[in-house]
């Protein structure tokens, strides 16, 4: 509706967002819920309040955490408030199923589910029956559910590009059942540029995009074209050697008796991002991850450089992997 669009633009200007952020800052779920439900009563659409207020506020608290202004505990508390708000919006708007049935799931290993819940409520408010399977859904469980229910489409959420290998496996499993996948989330790259490379039929950048794509779901009636083959199988080799390389990096960088988990976790994330970049044939994926890590680590930048060098040492016989790692290293 036209009024909803105008209200959404007003929300994005900061008035409603600022008020909502105040409630998040105070960890005030009752106040945040009252604010959002009042907006609905004033004629704002579900997309207006969830996309233009809640989602915008969540991006801001993520920015504050990354900049060091908020602790992890503050970010988690604020996210929990937003989860309660989204649930309240769902209860207010009710359920409808006139346009078909879609299943929404987060990629296995992906525990950031708030954005997917927002998509679920916006899609539901547009007239679809939505089954949200939650965070970190194993492919076999998803496929079993698809066989049982026969939905029109799967909406697959991926926040972290390092999960693209798993996303590709889930999409392949969905395609085998004949159900098309609409991808969504920053894990598929800006503009969804990596979605086709892992076999998705379409990709939307927002909950509104998901609704628009589903409205044209006749064009997604088949599972779409298969994912193009990767240039080689180096991503498979990286995954097979992941544990060995992580152990080698940890031994080289962590003194005996010290806590090795942070270094091991960081090395594993580098290797997952590297494998994903090799799969889609785009070193920019790894570069984006490394730039994000440099911002998050701040003065511990040198640790990341040492981890990248250690991964390169462990993968010395894989030329494309080495080239990608050198591109994002300190001299890249």
User: 59-102: per-residue pLDDT in tens?
Assistant: 999 889 888 889 999 999 999 999 999 999 999 987 766 788 99
Higher pLDDT, residue 240 or 293: 240
pLDDT at position 68: 83
Kindly list the distances between the CA atom of residue 21 and the CA atoms of 62, 81, 92, 109, 161, in Å, as whole numbers in the listed order.
12, 11, 22, 29, 27
Between helices 72-93 and 15-25, what is the axis angle to 10°? 120
CA 321 to the chain's CA centroid: 24
Model confidence, pTM: 0.86
Task: For Cα atoms 188, 46, 184, give the angle at the middle one, nearest 5 degrees.
Answer: 10
Q: Would you say 180 and 153 are in contact if contact means Cβ atoms under 8 Å apart?
A: yes
As a whole number, the mean pLDDT across the chain is 88
Q: How far apart are CA 17 and CA 10, in angstroms?
A: 10
Predicted confidence band at 221 (pLDDT cuts at 50, 70, 90)? low
Residue 107 backbone phi and psi in degrees, to 5 = -55, 145
Higher pLDDT, residue 73 or 298: 73
Predicted confidence band at 298 (pLDDT cuts at 50, 70, 90)? low
Q: How far apart are CA 141 and CA 139, in angstroms?
A: 5
pLDDT at position 217: 61
Q: For 183-207, how does the pLDDT look when each residue is reduced to its tens digit (9 = 90+)?
A: 999 999 998 999 989 999 999 989 9
What ranges make up the beta strands (E) of the chain? 101-106, 129-132, 153-157, 181-184, 202-204
Kindly list the distances between the CA atom of residue 221 and the CA atoms of 66, 152, 216, 224, 255, in Å, as whole numbers in the listed order.
40, 8, 10, 8, 56
* Residue written as token pair 């697959």: 156
The SS3 of residue 224 is coil
**Partner residues linked to 106 by β-bridges:** 157
pLDDT at position 6: 42
pLDDT at position 44: 94
Q: For 244-270, how does the pLDDT look when each residue is reduced to its tens digit (9 = 90+)?
A: 999 999 999 999 889 999 899 999 999
pLDDT at position 157: 95
pLDDT at position 293: 84
pLDDT at position 1: 32
pLDDT at position 99: 83
CA 31 to the chain's CA centroid: 28
Helix (H) and strand (E) counts in the chain: 16, 5
Give the range among 5-19, 59-73, 152-166, 211-225 with minimum mean pLDDT: 5-19
Percent of the chain's residues with pLDDT above 70: 89
Percent of the chain's residues with pLDDT above 90: 72
Residue 157, burial from CB neighbour count under 10 angstroms (0-12, 13-18, 19+): buried
Please say if the pLDDT value at position 227 is more than 80. Answer: no
**CA-wise closest residue to 205 among 169, 158, 173, 171:** 158
pLDDT at position 10: 43
Q: How far apart are CA 73 and CA 61, in angstroms?
A: 12
What ranges make up the beta strands (E) of 35-179? 101-106, 129-132, 153-157
Predicted confidence band at 292 (pLDDT cuts at 50, 70, 90)? confident
**Partner residues linked to 129 by β-bridges:** 101
């Amino acid at each position: 509706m036209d009024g909803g669009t105008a209200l959404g633009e007003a929300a994005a200007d900061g008035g409603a967002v600022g008020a909502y952020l105040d409630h998040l800052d105070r960890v005030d779920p009752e106040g945040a819920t009252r604010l959002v439900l009042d907006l609905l009563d004033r004629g704002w659409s579900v997309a207006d309040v969830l996309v233009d207020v809640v989602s915008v506020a969540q991006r801001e608290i993520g920015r504050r955490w990354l900049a060091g202004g908020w602790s992890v505990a503050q970010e988690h508390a604020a996210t929990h408030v937003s989860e309660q708000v989204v649930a309240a919006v769902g209860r207010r708007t009710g359920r409808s199923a006139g346009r078909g049935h879609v299943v929404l799931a987060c990629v296995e290993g992906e525990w950031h589910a708030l954005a997917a819940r927002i998509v679920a409520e916006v899609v539901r408010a547009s007239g679809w029956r939505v089954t949200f399977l939650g965070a970190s859904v194993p492919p076999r469980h998803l496929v079993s559910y698809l066989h049982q229910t026969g939905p029109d489409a799967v909406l697959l959420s991926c926040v972290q590009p390092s999960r693209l290998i798993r996303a590709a496996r889930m999409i392949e499993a969905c395609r085998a059942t004949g159900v098309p996948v609409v991808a969504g989330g920053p894990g598929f790259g800006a503009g969804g540029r990596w979605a086709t490379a892992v076999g998705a039929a379409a990709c939307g950048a927002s909950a509104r995009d998901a609704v628009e794509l589903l409205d044209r779901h006749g064009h997604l009636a088949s599972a779409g074209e298969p994912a193009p083959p990767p240039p080689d199988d180096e991503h498979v080799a990286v995954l097979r050697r992941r544990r060995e390389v992580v152990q080698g990096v940890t031994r080289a960088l962590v003194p005996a008796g010290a806590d090795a988990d942070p270094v091991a976790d960081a090395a594993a994330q580098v290797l997952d991002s590297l494998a994903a970049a090799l799969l889609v044939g785009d070193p920019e994926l790894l570069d984006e991850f490394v730039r994000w890590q440099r911002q998050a680590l701040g003065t511990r930048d040198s640790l990341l450089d040492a981890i990248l060098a250690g991964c390169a040492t462990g993968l010395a016989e894989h030329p494309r992997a080495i080239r990608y790692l050198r591109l994002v290293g300190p001299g890249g």
